[in-house]
Amino acid sequence: MDIKETLNAVKQRKLSVKQRVERALKTIEDHKDLNAFTQVFAEEALEKAKILDDRLAAGKETGALAGVIMAIKDNINIKDHKTTCASKILESFISPFDATVIEKLKAADVIFIGKTNMDEFAMGSSSENSIFGAVKNPHDPERVAGGSSGGSAVAVAIGACDAALGSETGGSIRQPASFTGLVGVKPTYGRVSRYGLVAYASSLDQIGAFAKTSEDAALILKTIAGHDVHDSTSATEPVPDYDRVVGKEIKGLKIGLPEEYFAEGLDPEIRSGIMNAVRRLEKEGAKIETFSLPQTRYAIATYYIIATAEASSNLARYDGVRYGYRAQDAGDLNEMYEKTRSEGFGEEVKRRILLGTYVLSAGYYDAYYKKAMQVRRLIKDELNSAFQKYDAIVTPTTPTTAFRLGEKIDDPLTMYLMDIYTVTANLAGICAMNVPVGKNSDRLPFGLQIMAPAFKEDRLFQLGAFFEK
Amino acid sequence: MEYEVVIGLEVHTQLLTESKIFCGCSTKFGSEPNTQTCPVCLGMPGVLPVLNRKVVEFAVRLGLATHCQIRRNNRFARKNYFYPDLPKGYQISQFEEPICENGYVEIETENGKKRVGLIRIHMEEDAGKSVHDEAYVGSEETLIDLNRCGVPLLEIVSAPDIRSPHEAHAYLTKLRQLVRYLEISDGNMEEGSFRCDANISVRPVGQTTLGTRTELKNMNSFAHVQKALDYEINRQINLLKNGQQVEQNTLLWDPQKNEARPMRGKEESHDYRYFPEPDLVPVFLDAPWFDSIKSALPELPDKKFERFLSQYNLPAYDTAILTESRDLADYFEQTAKHFTDYKMISNWMLGEVARTLNEQKITINEFPLTPQRLASLLKAIDTNVISTSAAKKVFEYLLSNEVSVDEAIEKLGLKQISDESRIEAYVDQVLSEFTNEVEAYKNGKTKVIGFLVGQVMRLSKGKANPQMVSSLLRKKLEA
């Protein structure tokens, strides 16, 4: 059942919210081995369900998403609940405030079933870098779910919730969505308030959603998007009714296929799957054209300089002074910092902090950070000029399907290449979405990526819904 | 060999905004530790800064008042370093694109007016405070108070144009006067809302390259600045005279021991890894905003000084004191609306009024006499209702009594006697009582008239108009 059907059934009292929550809790229990959740809010969700059932029974007004169950990535603050970021350093941290997206979802009467596992501080592409252990793919538990929002992807894939919030910095929603066969949307930078999202790389981070259909994703985005006084980088652009475009015909749309995204390194099964989907577009009257985005080859390098630089600064606050983990037996202040951060952060986080510290250091700033910002500008300009010609750009989301647990964890460079098709959208600040288009011979899902200009999320949902027909 | 001193000053001035620079917390001074904090200024995971526009306006005011170029497009940057009173592990400041640049402040020196260049003025947040000295802090502990964390600051960086501790003092005085005139800071050095660090070097006169500089910190009053600069200049000159080198270093002034001690190497070797703050959009001062700030600028001290000289025809000395603060100048002008002997107003303000302010340790705003009442008092002298000496008594009475000048004169019975027949009666009585003195006067000892005037005044209980007494006495004695 999709969200609109659920909402109707709940409203007509054909479906009890409490029963939905009970079923969700059971699903979570049944799939415990997948390690999707860091916390489950069983009692609280049941309580909220009862309140909603009572209100619905009494014919009282309820929020726009009353009865919808969601899971939240564990780097988004929910008041009076832990925000662990899957890190030892924040294992005990309880947030004193709601993220803006949480406030909005609460106002819509969404029920939060729990918080989801992830790569520590959203750094990773496999959800293996977690103090809670790796997240496993429901399509094959020997394989990763993708990352960093792997737990949220799995939570939706197993049916523990209707939708889930994730966060993106370089592909952390689209890539796990591709690996688990879901719709995953990364909105335009500034479309959704970042207030309450634990920062990894501020100029790239954006909250987005996992859902089973484009229309579901559209409904969630409509609820969480909009300007926020607490986030000065959030956009004042009005929020349209994204779900209205579902079913709108695609005839006449101009679609660009960048050849760099179909080059060496792409799994041939994925390539043919994507090309099949493209032919469907063409058949429906879309105009397809191949073109070139030469700056793409600098995207990964640029991304890892900017993201790590910002991360090295954003993660400085975890110093053991005010909250979170503090190492014992330190002799002086510097030793406390050293021990706290050495013991509190995992390997990948430390690696990125070191990288970021290095690229910002005196004498290296111009060669790395400044240069990377200039290249970022070029990448953005190149994409924006492509959007002068094309309404949307279509590519594969990932070069491969889900890989095996442990397969790339000791090889960070190969792991970083998993983001090769997704980081461009983050660097350019545009919107992009994964929509599932097939499975390979091992029955592993893969997705197609749609990229659209800034604030043209409606085009993502329009095209996404087309592929779901 | 003669040496020349080269000083550049960095001033941090705390702004008088109601709330902090990036959150809604109050900036009030002196509250219980950690009561003026929120997730944003505590650096909790997930928070974001939101710029207080007042801070930008205050920065522009000071920039315009110091002839700076204002960067209409400026931006914040992160200054990264670890310290327990810095919750985020970075300070949000400005680096490559500060809001104001290339200005100057004009000071008075022994050799006339001089311009001290300003390299830049930028906006930033203050850090918290480490607390060691309070009774509740254990000997092995450091406690952190984050009330001050996020209070807005302007950092004002001068060019190395200052050539003596005296000039440094004049520069700081001028800058403090400006921030107070602009009502952007209380400029209080002792309370830490106006802080100063100095870069000092010396070089042989005639040498064009700069000598090795040291940085001097922790000077918490104008007196400390003078002493610390004198100390450091002497130290450097002595080193050079003895053929030694000055080591580039950061020194902390110790006001108890009157000496500057070098900080440990580790504390000062910072690489701040500045980069543009991605959580804030660049500040854009569009024309309407900029113009509204500019048009709200008050009359500045130099302008006011010139105007007072010409409009009120006062001596430069009086004018300098009266225009030292906006409030004092305003008080003068309010009084001048009701009474036009401007020099007399000035005399009273520099005399009785200033003395009262000093004695009672109050500001002109807290002074109990309104300008109107002072004007009435001065008018009473001017129209011979009371004598100047009686006026001083009335003044004292008015300070602690909510009555009008007339009522006070009445109450104290100090109304001057200007009735000629009554004065004549006193004069006649004195002339008949003090025949020896009258004789002496007539024999050419005219000085004795002072004594006789005094006797008439005593007889009239001080109320007789002294000019009338004097002229009447003279007339009778010389008749």
Q: For residue B8, which of B116, B114, B103, B111 has the smallest C-alpha distance?
A: B116
Q: Is the pLDDT of residue A456 over 90?
A: yes
Token pair 């931006």: residue: B75
The H or E element containing residue B58 is helix B53-65
| Whole-number Cα distances in Å, A21 to A26, A54, A64, A161 | 9, 15, 18, 9
Cα A296 from Cα A365, distance rounded (Å): 22
Cα A198 from Cα A317, distance rounded (Å): 11
Residue B270: band (very low, low, confident or very high) from pLDDT cuts 50, 70, 90: confident
pLDDT (tens digit per residue) in B53-86: 999 999 999 999 999 999 999 999 999 999 999 9
Res B30: pLDDT:
85
Active site residue A234: no
Q: For residue A153, which of A192, A120, A125 has the smallest C-alpha distance?
A: A125
Active site residue A456: no
Cα A336 from Cα A345, distance rounded (Å): 14
* A4/B265: higher pLDDT: A4
Res A282: pLDDT:
97
Res B267: pLDDT:
53
Q: Is the pLDDT of residue A447 over 90?
A: yes
SS3 B204: strand
Among A301-315, A398-412, B423-437, the range with the most confident prediction by mean pLDDT is: A301-315
Res A228: pLDDT:
98
Whether residue B164 has a cis bond before it, omega within 30° of 0: no
Q: What percent of chain A has pLDDT over 90?
A: 96
Token pair 């009572």: residue: A54
Residues 6+ apart with CB under 8 A from B35: B147
Q: Would you state the structure tokens that stand for residue B60, as one six-digit string? A: 């522009």
pLDDT (tens digit per residue) in A115-126: 999 999 999 999
Q: Is the pLDDT of residue B404 over 70?
A: yes
Tell me the mean pLDDT in the region B467-475. 88
Note whether B46 contacts A76, CB cutoff 8 Å.
yes
Residue A417: band (very low, low, confident or very high) from pLDDT cuts 50, 70, 90: confident
- Out of A75, A197, A202, closest to residue B278 by CB: A202
Helix A17-30 vs helix A42-57: angle between axes, to the nearest 10 degrees? 160
Residue A107: band (very low, low, confident or very high) from pLDDT cuts 50, 70, 90: very high
Res B390: pLDDT:
85
Distance from CA of A107 to the nearest CA of B (A): 20
Per DSSP, helices labelled H in B201-341 are 222-241, 265-268, 287-295, 301-312, 316-322, 326-336
Please provide the DSSP assignment of A119-158 as one string: SGGG--SSS-S-TT---EETTEEEEE--SSSHHHHHHHHT
Res A414: pLDDT:
84
Residue B401 contacts residue B393 (beta carbons within 8 Å): no
Burial class (CB in 10 A: 0-12, 13-18, 19+), B10: middle
Q: What is the DSSP letter of B111?
A: T
Residue B265: band (very low, low, confident or very high) from pLDDT cuts 50, 70, 90: low
Distance from CA of B253 to the nearest CA of A (A): 24
Q: Class for domain A3-245, per CATH?
A: alpha beta
Cα B417 from Cα A252, distance rounded (Å): 106
Of the candidate ranges A204-218, A238-252, B134-148, B332-346, the one whose mean pLDDT is the lowest: B134-148
Residue B117 contacts residue B69 (beta carbons within 8 Å): no
Cα B60 from Cα B417, distance rounded (Å): 59
Which phi and psi (to 5°) does residue B4 adopt?
A: -110, 140
Which of A92, A167, A231, A232 would best serve as a mutation to test chain B binding (most B beta carbons within 10 A)? A232
Cα B379 from Cα B391, distance rounded (Å): 10
Res A449: pLDDT:
98
Edge-to-edge, what's the strand order for the sheet holding B90-93? Answer: B90-93, B77-80, B275-276
Active site residue A178: no
Res B264: pLDDT:
66
Residue A186 contacts residue A425 (beta carbons within 8 Å): yes
Residue A416 contacts residue A169 (beta carbons within 8 Å): no
Cα A230 from Cα A83, distance rounded (Å): 19
Q: Is the pLDDT of residue B266 over 60?
A: no
* B30/B210: higher pLDDT: B210
pLDDT (tens digit per residue) in A275-292: 999 999 999 999 999 999
Residue A199 contacts residue A206 (beta carbons within 8 Å): no
Q: Is the pLDDT of residue B268 over 60?
A: no
Q: Is the pLDDT of residue B337 over 70?
A: yes
Which of A79, A94, A314 would best serve as a mutation to test chain B binding (most B beta carbons within 10 A)? A314
Residue A427 contacts residue A383 (beta carbons within 8 Å): no
Res B1: pLDDT:
80
Residue of B nearest to A201 (CA): B278
Q: For residue A69, which of A53, A49, A84 has the smallest C-alpha distance?
A: A49
Tell me the mean pLDDT in the region A95-113. 98
pLDDT (tens digit per residue) in B293-328: 999 999 999 999 999 999 999 999 999 999 999 999
Q: Is the pLDDT of residue A201 over 70?
A: yes
Which value does ipTM take for this structure?
0.96
Of the candidate ranges A70-79, B306-315, B461-470, the one whose mean pLDDT is the lowest: B461-470
Q: How far is CA B341 from the centre of its chain?
A: 27
Residue B258 contacts residue B229 (beta carbons within 8 Å): no
Residue of A nearest to B38 (CA): A96
Q: Chain B contacts of A75, Cβ < 8 Å?
A: 46
Residue of A nearest to B79 (CA): A313
| Whole-number Cα distances in Å, B289 to A316, B41, B57 | 35, 27, 9
Residue type, A140: D
Q: Is the pLDDT of residue A367 over 60?
A: yes
Residue A352 contacts residue A311 (beta carbons within 8 Å): yes
Residues 6+ apart with CB under 8 A from A454: A188, A189, A429, A430, A431
Q: Is the pLDDT of residue A6 over 80?
A: yes
pLDDT (tens digit per residue) in A292-349: 999 999 999 999 999 999 999 999 999 999 999 999 989 999 999 999 999 999 999 9
Q: Is the pLDDT of residue B458 over 90?
A: no
Token pair 């000077």: residue: B219
Tell me the mean pLDDT in the region B458-468. 84
Residues of chain B with CATH 1.10.10.410: 420-478
Residue A356: band (very low, low, confident or very high) from pLDDT cuts 50, 70, 90: very high
The length of chain A is: 469
Q: Is the pLDDT of residue B156 over 80?
A: yes
Among candidate residues A48, A73, A136, A408, the one labeled active-site is A73
Q: For residue A311, which of A343, A355, A370 has the smallest C-alpha distance?
A: A355
Tell me how far apart the 2 most distant CA atoms of chain B are, in Å: 99
Which of B44, B144, B270 would best serve as a mutation to test chain A binding (most A beta carbons within 10 A)? B44
* Residue B390: count of CB within 10 angstroms of its CB: 20
Q: Would you state the structure tokens that stand for residue B254, as one six-digit string? A: 């110790």
Residue B415: band (very low, low, confident or very high) from pLDDT cuts 50, 70, 90: confident
**CATH number attached to the domain at B420-478:** 1.10.10.410
Torsion of CA A186, A95, A130, A425, to 10 degrees: 20
pLDDT (tens digit per residue) in B366-375: 999 999 999 9
Q: Would you state the structure tokens that stand for residue B199, as one six-digit string? A: 């870069």
Q: Chain B contacts of A202, Cβ < 8 Å?
A: 278-279
Q: Which residues of B lie inside 8 Å of A (Cβ-Cβ)?
A: 39, 42-51, 78, 80, 82, 84, 87-90, 144, 271, 273-275, 278-281
* B174-180, long-range: CB < 8 A, 24+ apart: B174/B105, B174/B106, B174/B107, B174/B301, B175/B11, B175/B13, B175/B105, B177/B301, B177/B324, B177/B325, B178/B62, B178/B65, B178/B66, B178/B105, B178/B300, B178/B301, B179/B13, B179/B62, B180/B325, B180/B326
* Residue A204: count of CB within 10 angstroms of its CB: 23
Note whether A198 contacts B39, CB cutoff 8 Å.
no
Q: Would you state the structure tokens that stand for residue B446, as one six-digit string? A: 């005219």
